[in-house]
Structure 1
Amino acid sequence: MDKFKFEKLIIWQKAMDFGEIIDKLALNFPEREKFNLASQIRRASDSIALNISEGSIGQSNPEQKRFVGYSIRSLAEVVTCLFKANRRNYINQSTFIELYDEAFHLMNMMSAFRKNIK
């Protein structure tokens, strides 16, 4: 495909993959969290890729930087949701560490990408 500029961005591809992992994870949260933590973590994880793509379409460089910043903030929200899920025993420690590390790697990639926008 690759008809849109953002499709070629590794950070967008990684954000898309991360969002799918989080979506599947949230399916295992208790029913009582369906409209709370499960919904929140899904929306935040989706927002990462959504903001990367929005910032890459016909935007000025300051606009693109701003949208990547929104993506980083959404990722921080996901990490906080992961902490909540771990504390509430919805996910085990090894799953938490695996996703936390993936989030940290993605954040570093997005931060480097944002710094390189001229």
Structure 2
Amino acid sequence: MHVYSFEKLTVWQESIQLAIKTYKTTDLFPNEEKFGLTSQMRRCSVSVSSNLAEGTSRLTKKDKAHFMTIAYSSAIELLNQAIISKELNFISETSFLEIRKYIESVTNKINALRNSFLTT
């Protein structure tokens, strides 16, 4: 059952899956990273879906596009942190590629959505 418009968005649904994947992946990080990369990656991943949801509630197309930009930026920040995690051997190449695949899909959809607000 969808009550709010953002719940119907494929990109929002995928961003929720990205957050879940991020939480499961960071569960395996060293304990000393609990307040470092673990926390930062989790906040970024949640920020993507949160900004998508918040953006859909905005009244102007320009404001909606702004929140899509913030969601996109959070996804890119998460990618950067995943790269660092891979380089530190906190995650395997396979886990990194899975997260990267999610991020690429989500960012492509966010760009399309943002562009739809800017061109109409």
Q: Normalization by structure 2: what TM-score?
A: 0.94
Cα distance in 2 between the residues matched to 1:18 and 1:3: 22
- Deviation, 1:58, is 3.9
- Tell me the CA shift for residue 98 of structure 1: 1.9
Q: Say whether 1:50 aligns with 2:43.
A: no
Q: Which runs of 5+ in 2 are unaligned?
A: none
Q: Look up the match of 1:35.
A: 35
Q: CA deviation at 1:65?
A: 0.2
Identity of aligned residues (%): 28
Query: Cα offset for 1:70?
Result: 0.2
The aligned length equals 118
Name the aligned partner's letter for residue 9 of structure 1: L
The superposition leaves residues 65-109 of structure 1 with CA deviations (integer Å, 9 ceiling, x where unpaired) of 000000000001100110011011011111111211221121111
Q: Does 1:92 align with 2:81?
A: no
Structure 1: gaps spanning 5 or more residues: none
Query: 5 Å matches for 1:8-27?
Result: 8-27=8-27
Q: Residue 3 of structure 1: CA displacement? A: 0.6
How far apart in 1 are the matches of 2:84 and 2:54?
29
Q: For 1:16 and 1:44, how far apart are their aligned partners in 2?
A: 12
What is the letter of the counterpart of residue 50 of structure 1? S
Measured in 1, the distance between the counterparts of 2:23 and 2:78 equals 11
RMSD: 0.9
Distance 1:41 1:112 in 2: 24
